[in-house]
Structures are given as C-alpha cells and as structure tokens.
Amino acid sequence: MRDARDFAVALGRILGIVGLAAAGLIAGCRPAPAPPADTGAREAARAFFDALSRRDWDRAYAALAPESKARMSPEQFTRLAQNYHQSYDLKPGGVQVGPCEEHGPKALAHVTLTRLHPAKNRRHKDAVVLRWDGAGWGVELPAVFGRTGKP
C-alpha cells in the first residue's frame, strides 16, 4: 500500500510540474498584441508641418487645436509661422513624421523637416503635441512657437 501511495504522490508532483511547464509555454507563445488603430494624429501632424513648409498659413492655422486658435488670431499665427519657416529655411514638402505616441486625448508626434539650403544640418527635428477635440486632432502650439526661432 505504501508503494502505491508513494507512486501516486510522485506521479502527482510530476504531472504538476509538467502542467506548469505547459502553461508557461502556452503563455509565452501568444502572438504580439496588434498595434493600435490609426486615429489620425500622425496625419494631422504631417498636414500641419506640410502646410508650414509650403507657406500655406491658412491651412496650417486650420490644423490647430481650438485652444491654440483661441490664443491667437490668424494674423498673429501667420507672423509667427513666417518666423518659424524662416528660422529653419524649410523645403516645401520636406516633412517626415516618425513615431506618434497617443495617450488618450493627447498625442506626441516626432517630425523631421528638410531644410531648403542647409548650412550645417540638412534636417531639423521637432515634436508637436496634438489634442483630440471630439471631431479630430489639432496641433497644440507651444507658447514660444515662432518667437525665438524654435517651436
């Protein structure tokens, strides 16, 4: 009887170890989670910087978040956007949007802009915060945009 009981205990331990190992293998073999659906934040950033690079001030202003539009008129924005464009000597259409990190109603887009006449650097890297207002993404301008040659 004792041999049967010892055998049952040993078998239970072995099956327990095998079960844990199998569960670990199954858990480790799950496919990677699907990337989040494109919500349009990346495209909104590209549209804004493309408009800036092409000196299309009206289109760039239209891409702003409501909070940014409330802080400045289209005329004020145009002056600041012209300063920004001149500071970086932007090539029309020379916009590449890299990663766009979305966190609920806010997103951060990383942008690389090509300069028309590069002095030292051919490219300028920038980042922009976007805000979802329920109807779409808009660019949230930093307070220093166009004032010191930096966004």
DSSP β-bridge partners for residue 90: 115
Whether 132 and 89 share a structural domain: yes
3-state secondary structure of 108: strand
Q: In terms of residue numbers, what domain contains 23? A: 1-30
What is the structure's pLDDT at 129?
95
Report the domain count for the chain.
2
Question: CB of 44 within 8 A of CB of 136?
Answer: yes
Whether 48 and 18 share a structural domain: no
DSSP state of 151: -
Confirm whether 87 is domain-assigned: yes
- Greatest pairwise CA separation for the chain in angstroms: 95
Q: Residues in the chain, how many?
A: 151
Q: Is the pTM of this model over 0.75?
A: no
Whether 21 and 93 share a structural domain: no
Convert the pLDDT of each residue in 53-69 to its tens digit.
999 999 999 999 999 99
Confirm whether 146 is domain-assigned: no
